[in-house]
Structure 1
Amino acid sequence: MDTLSYKTISANKATVTKEWVIVDATDQVLGRLGSKVAKLLRGKYKPNFTPHVDCGDNVIIINADKVKMTGSKWDKRVYLSYTGYPGGQREITPAQLQAKPNGDEKLLRKVIKGMLPKNKLGAQLLGNLYVYTGSEHKHEAQSPKLIDINVLK
């Protein structure tokens, strides 16, 4: 028996095939959309997934302003941050965050960032995410394909 034929093949930067995909966020629940997009960014839907390599796709999210939350999470959920000074704990609700300039993009990025690894790889993966409030985007040159996010598990 040849044991050398059972070697595990790991993807590296040269062997990774990255694609461009468009996700329509219209009437999608924020957390469920975020988890599926995080898996796309990470590359977990690909057969050659390698945990320490950026093998995910470049994801374009359109219609980010039409995302929804169930229940009363728009006003009751609280995101905390800390400035580093005494008494510097700040809190903001998703409705307040969305009301800011570019708030729809900030809200989706915040949710997806929390679902990615907390290291340099997570920061690199977050750079592959492009969020737009309307249905227009500036990545036609990459010829992205539209995928149905509801089909993914």
Structure 2
Amino acid sequence: MDTLSYKTISANKATVQKEWVVVDATDQVLGRLSAKVAKLLRGKYKPSYTPHVDCGDNVIIINADKVILTGNKWTDRVYLNFTGYPGGQKKTSPAELIKKGEAKLFNRVVKGMLPKNKLGAQLLRNLYVYAGSEHPHAAQQPKTIDINSLK
């Protein structure tokens, strides 16, 4: 048997196949949806996944204003920011973040599920969040996928 034919293929910036994907957030739970979106951004659903390369898709989330949180999490969940100065700890809730814009809430949640390095910051730039059902990325010919069909 020829053992040289079984080489592990590692993707790089030139060989990666990036696609555009549309995800509808209507009546989806925020955390479960964000976990699947983070996997799409990272490229973990692809057979050519490479941990140190941006091989994920560009994800467009539409109807982000119709996302749900179970229980009293809209008001009881607390997100903490720290400026680095004494007394600089700020508290926000998901309800306050969604008032500032749906993108702020989704970026906050998905960012926590990505690597904490330069690659994670680069992957987060591939996420686009819109409140309504319209988006300006029609020229990229994105595919609409059912997020519930993904594991």
Separation of aligned partners in 1, 2:60 and 2:98: 19
Aligned to 1:47: 47
The unaligned stretches of length 5 or more in structure 1 are none
Separation of aligned partners in 1, 2:5 and 2:144: 38
Aligned to 1:114: 112
SS at match of 1:87: coil
How does the TM-score come out when normalised to structure 2?
Answer: 0.97
Q: CA deviation at 1:14?
A: 1.1
Separation of aligned partners in 2, 1:127 and 1:105: 12
The unaligned stretches of length 5 or more in structure 2 are none
Aligned to 2:66: 66
Aligned to 2:142: 144
The code of the aligned residue for 1:75 comes to: T
Aligned to 1:81: 81
SS at match of 2:26: coil
Separation of aligned partners in 2, 1:5 and 1:115: 36
How does the TM-score come out when normalised to structure 1?
Answer: 0.96
Please, what is the CA RMSD of the aligned residues? Answer: 0.9
After superposition, the C-alpha distances for 1:41-100 in whole angstroms (9 at most, x for unaligned) are 000000110000111001000001000000111111100011111111111111111122
Q: CA deviation at 1:6?
A: 2.3
| Mapping of residues 18-57 of structure 1, within 5 Å | 18-57=18-57
The code of the aligned residue for 1:127 comes to: R
SS at match of 1:59: strand
Q: CA deviation at 1:3?
A: 3.1
How many residues align? The count is 151
The code of the aligned residue for 2:23 comes to: V
The code of the aligned residue for 1:129 comes to: L
